[in-house]
Structures are given as C-alpha cells and as structure tokens.
Structure 1
Amino acid sequence: MRILSILFLVLLAVSCKSPEARRPVSQNSGSYVDESVERNKEMIAQEEDYIKQVMGENIDTEYLSSADGFWYYYNDKSTDSLNIETPEFGDVVVFDYSISSIKGESIYAEGEKPTREYAIDQEKLFTGLRQGLKLMKKGETVTFLFPSHKAFGYYGDKQKIGSNVPIMAKVTLHDIKEEPTKETNN
C-alpha cells in the first residue's frame, strides 16, 4: 500500500506541472522576403539600365529625370509666361495619352484611349502617370518613360500590358480645372 501511495504522489506532482508551449516543426527566417526584395531591386536596376540605354540611342532628345524615379521629355512645352500653373491635389485635369513599349512599339495608340478627366490624387491611375501629370502645364505634351513599378507593375493592365513591363506614355494635358474650393476663395 505504501508503494501505491508513493506512486500516487509522484503522479500527482507530475500532473500539476504547467503546460509547455509546443515548438513549430519548421521555422521560417524571413529569407523569402529578403530574397524577393533582392530580386525586385535587381529587376528595377535592369529596367533602369535598359531605359538609359534607349535614351542614349536618342541623342537628339533632352531627357529629364524626375525625383519620382522616371524620365521624360517635352514634345510640346508651354512657352506662355502666364501659363505657370501645374495641377495640385483635387484639381481636375483633362488629358489624352497613348502607351508604347520603351522602344516605341505601340500598345495603345493615340485615340485608342478616350480623353480622360482625373481628379489629382483622388482617383485610381497608375503611379507614374499620376506623378507625371503634376509636372505638366495646360497645353503641354510630354513623353514619360516609366519602369514597370511606376507603370502597371507585377499585374500588368490585364489587357495588353504584361507583368513587369516598362512603358512609354505620351500625354497631352488639355485643361486644368481648379478644385472647387480654390475657385471660390479667389
């Protein structure tokens, strides 16, 4: 009976132990994310080198570099000294655009995309074009060269532009309509 009592006390002591957390079978170190970041950096560098190579082949064109990570040149630049306004948040712009490959092969020809009205930074538009419109003045035509991450990125446009494709967009800004609150304050 004494052995049974000792055995009972040992079982009681072992069963009162607090539960231990289970360890995962496998542990991920985050290396997949690190590898993805490195792949994207390499892809962006290759696209930028390709764009710079194409720009180098067009020595007659004066390319400008934007602070937002794309390049552009003026087809028609405003020479009107009174035309100094560029669109700001909330302004509605009216514009046309065409899209081609960086080499100039047409993807969406001029007139294929309808004239568009866009409220600056308040509607959906691909990143590069959204940033590029803010650099333009009424009546100007500008050609932008966008790396894929500034264009349609990984998903493309689900129609004619594939995954990770750098593009060239020729944009004509027809009008800038000030945000309604600005017009009433002036």
Structure 2
Amino acid sequence: MKYLLFFILVIFLVGCEGPIARKPVRTSTPKLIKSTVERNKDLLAMEVQIINSLVKKDTLHNYIATANGSWYYYETKNDSTSYIAKNDDLVTLRYTIMTLTNDTIYTADALGIQEIKVDKPSLFKGLRTTFTLLKEGEKATFLFPSSLAFGYHGDDNKIAPNTPIKSSIEILKIEQKQSN
C-alpha cells in the first residue's frame, strides 16, 4: 500500500508540469517579408523606368515630377486663381483612367462627376494627391506607378494587379470648408 501511495504521489508530481506552449501552425518568416519587400522595390523601379522613358519620348508636353512619385503635365492651366484645395474642402472633378499606352480603361462618362472631400480615402492614392496640385478649372494628365494606382490588388474589375495607369483629371469646382 505504501508503494502504491508513493507511486501515485510520484505520478501526480510528474504530471503537474507547467503548460507547454503550442507552436504556431504557420509563421511569417523574416526571409519571406524581406523577399516581398525586394520584389515590390524591383517592381517600382521597373515601372519608374517605363514611365521615365515615356516622359522622355513625349516631347509635346512638359512633365512635372511630384514629391510622391507621379508625373503630370497640364492640359489646361488656370492662372486667374491661386487657391488649391485644402483638408475638408469639397472638390468636384471628372477623370478618366487609361493604360500607359493610352488605351481607355474607364471614360469620364462611365466614372461620372465626382464630389470628394480632400484627404478622405474614397479614391485611389494617386488621385487623392492631385488635389494639392491642381486649382479650380485646371486639367492635367498624370502618370501613376501601380503603388499609387490600384496597387497589388487591382480594382477587381478592369484594372489588373500591379498596373501603372495614366489619368486625365479635371477640377471643376472647389468648395472651401466653412470655418465656424
């Protein structure tokens, strides 16, 4: 009986180990993250090279490089006003989306006239940044790398993932935010 009690006590003490952590089923390795970052850098460099060659070949237009990585030229410039939209202003605009080879993806009629509050994420990233460059009544054509367009996801319709685009944007009206 003593041995049985001793045996049960030993089993009880051995069985009371602390909890053993389970290993994750799937892990994200730094190597995978690093390779994804490198792939994205390579893709951006290739797109920038393509856009730069298009800019050099187009001798009819004077392209301007933006701080965020897009290029544009004016189709219509408005020198009668100096106001550029600011946060929470309401901007009315029309735009088209094309491939870099000028094949139309979405016409201005298909997209319709848009009323957008500045700095609200309702449009693709590159288009949101144009509000700080154009004034009311101006029209410009922009070249966007895929990272500023619809990115690695595309638009789930006509624009494939990682597609750089060209967009003609016209600011029809800017309604300034009413201060209280």
**With structure 2 as the length reference, what TM-score do the two structures score?**
0.86
Gaps of at least 5 residues in structure 2 are none
**Matched-pair identity in %:** 32
Q: Matched residue pairs, number? A: 179
Alignment-mate amino acid for residue 102 of structure 1? L
Q: Which position in structure 2 is the counterpart of 1:159? A: 157
Q: Which position in structure 1 is the counterpart of 2:20? A: 21
Q: Which position in structure 1 is the counterpart of 2:79? A: 79
Q: Distance in 1 between matches of 2:50 and 2:169?
A: 22
Q: Distance in 1 between matches of 2:117 and 2:86?
A: 9
Higher-Rg member (1/2): 1
Alignment-mate amino acid for residue 164 of structure 1? N
Residues 8/113 of structure 1: CA separation in 2 closer, same or farther (3 Å cut)? closer
Does residue 120 in structure 1 map to residue 115 in structure 2? no
Contact 1:92 1:178 in 2 (8 A): yes
CA-based RMSD = 2.3
**With structure 1 as the length reference, what TM-score do the two structures score?**
0.84
Shift of 1:111: 2.7
Shift of 1:122: 2.8
Contact 1:54 1:103 in 2 (8 A): no
Residues 5/153 of structure 1: CA separation in 2 closer, same or farther (3 Å cut)? closer
Contact 2:121 2:128 in 1 (8 A): no
Q: Distance in 2 between matches of 1:123 and 1:10?
A: 64
SS of structure 2 residue aligned to 1:90:
coil
Q: 2:139 aligns with which of 124, 138, 141?
A: 141
Contact 2:93 2:114 in 1 (8 A): yes
Shift of 1:45: 1.1
Contact 1:72 1:144 in 2 (8 A): yes
Q: Which position in structure 2 is the counterpart of 1:90? A: 88
Q: Distance in 2 between matches of 1:25 and 1:179?
A: 50
